[in-house]
Structure 1
Amino acid sequence: MDFTFENELAGKLALVTGGSKGTGKAIADRLLKAGATVIATARNKPEDVATGIHFIAADLSTLEGAQKVVTQVLDQFGRLDILVNNMGGSETPGGGFAVLSDQDWESSIHTNLLAPVRLDRGFLPGMIHRGEGVIIHIASIQAKLPLYDSTLPYAASKAALVNYSKNLSNEVSPKGVRVLTVSPGWIMTAASTRMMERIAQSSGGTVEQATHGVMEALGGIPFGRPARPQEVAELVGFLVSPRAAYLTGTEYVIDGGTIPTI
């Protein structure tokens, strides 16, 4: 087969976690356009699921939620070829170490680290048996550039995810399964846009001023703006495609130059 953008994932079954909005939705849409059969998961089913995307409602921060997804996918489809562990986030309070409880830490670890670990564990045996598969872990530049005063548990759990992803690749790449990490910087999702609007309203400034202030807090974004969800999705689309067949065990940073070191 001559691969094109429209068919390079034809016959492949892909699962995207956190796939109901933002970057996850953009990734799911991108894989669908490339010909994959796409399953998306999130806690709640949105009203605007794209035609052709199968949806499973599950709370992946729990063991039961992860097991539900693994069971439903394998029962209905029999296998999984591509797993994009996109779900993640931080709901912990800002203020540094002193304000964080054990529950805050455990919540971040379950969401950002254990959720992908459990799904990997559920789907990897089938991939190894067939001698092929791709796993993408969506981490964050905060693994290397933590904002200790606002997202300390999130940054620590994403750093653990990057380390785990590399080690997993070392184990399963010889068995035919590629494992990669994508670490975005700030992404201007709809949620980020709403946050900029709230900051602008509370400060009496403009959305542009609020955006610039956040970029300054990150130490600056040389490219001059946050990423768009579709830009991250395009990178993931390439990495899971046959064109990236030799790539494994690597972290790809997409941050517009935010991280100031080599």
Structure 2
Amino acid sequence: MSLDLQLAGKRVLVTGGTRGVGGAVVGLLSGFNARIAATARSRPDRPIDGVHYIATDLATAEGARQAVEAALRHLGGVDILINVVGGSSAPAGGFAALDDHEWATALDLNLMSAVRLDRALLPLMLAQGSGVILHVTSIQRTLPLPDATIAYAAAKAALSTYSKALSKEVTPKGVRVARVSPGWIETEAAVALVERVATHAGTDYEGGKQLIMRELGGIPLGRPARPGEVADLIAFLVSPRAASISGTEYTIDGGTVPTV
């Protein structure tokens, strides 16, 4: 069995493509000789040769429009769209701490950024009769954390439902839609969180990781996922090697979610 993912020359747009999972996806796909445009709010300090970076805020409709125009201008079209961008900056304090602004922020970043890009690029994919869209959701759609990320979890649940409906509409027309649902990933932001937790608890980095894992109810694997591990799964799913996969969601969480 060949390990060639047949991605050479594929035109790929990756959102959130400078750090964490998105950065890992960009690095991996560039190694497979894909042609890549990557979005982020700012250009990376260490850009990857051959990758076209687009500085824009996808939490806004204008930012999505700018991303699409820049990607099409550079790539001439898009064969694969990987929507990684997402996150939460909501304050702690449960439901009462989340006003309309916090809800709108979570929905714009975690749901509407993907919806807007899909809406702009899908007609082109349908016209060419082929394409792949991959949405990164979260295990919080089934295992929400109540303190600060209720809106984030709800937005990711909506993204998952939207993705399934979209797959049923466009897969018969040649465009695959898939989802990857990560658990806790040891990204740059996660490292900073662990360090804050460790300092507050008077422990070291490994002790901080254990505290967070207990908060999640435990990770049977014993550690968070690494960005590169999630990128490996995404690369396979968007490749022609996964040509019969559409409409499904793949969880990569080290066993965190305790139910079937």
Gaps of 5+ in 1: none
CA distance in 1, matches of 2:174, 2:29: 21
CA distance in 2, matches of 1:233, 1:199: 27
Normalising by structure 1, we get a TM-score of 0.97
Q: Quote the residue 2:185 is aligned against.
A: 187
Q: Quote the residue 2:254 is aligned against.
A: 256
Q: Quote the residue 1:173 is aligned against.
A: 171
User: Does 2:50 correspond to 1:52?
Assistant: yes
Q: Aligned with 1:20: secondary structure?
A: coil
User: 1:90 pairs with 70, 88, 91, which one?
Assistant: 88
* RMSD between aligned residues: 1.2
Query: Following superposition of structure 1 onto structure 2, how do residues 111-130 of structure 1 map, counting pairs within 5 Å?
Result: 111-130=109-128
**1:258 is aligned with what amino acid?**
T
Bigger CA drift: 32-41 or 161-170? Answer: 32-41
Q: CA deviation at 1:78?
A: 2.0
Query: Following superposition of structure 1 onto structure 2, how do residues 3-18 of structure 1 map, counting pairs within 5 Å?
Result: 4-5=3-4, 8-18=6-16
Identity level (%): 53
Query: Following superposition of structure 1 onto structure 2, how do residues 29-40 of structure 1 map, counting pairs within 5 Å?
Result: 29-40=27-38
Number of matched pairs: 260
Q: Aligned with 2:250: secondary structure?
A: strand
CA distance in 2, matches of 1:76, 1:127: 16
Deviations 1:88-145 (A, max 9, x none): 0001111111111100000000000000000001110110011110000000000000
User: Does 2:222 correspond to 1:240?
Assistant: no
Bigger CA drift: 212-221 or 72-81? Answer: 72-81
Normalising by structure 2, we get a TM-score of 0.97
Q: CA deviation at 1:3?
A: 6.3
CA distance in 1, matches of 2:95, 2:188: 29
CA distance in 2, matches of 1:12, 1:120: 18
Contact 1:10/1:34 (CA < 8 Å) preserved in 2?
A: yes
CA distance in 1, matches of 2:36, 2:254: 28
Deviations 1:180-207 (A, max 9, x none): 0100000001221122122212221111
Find runs of 4+ consecutive structure 1 residues off by over 4 angstroms: none
User: 1:27 pairs with 22, 25, 28, which one?
Assistant: 25
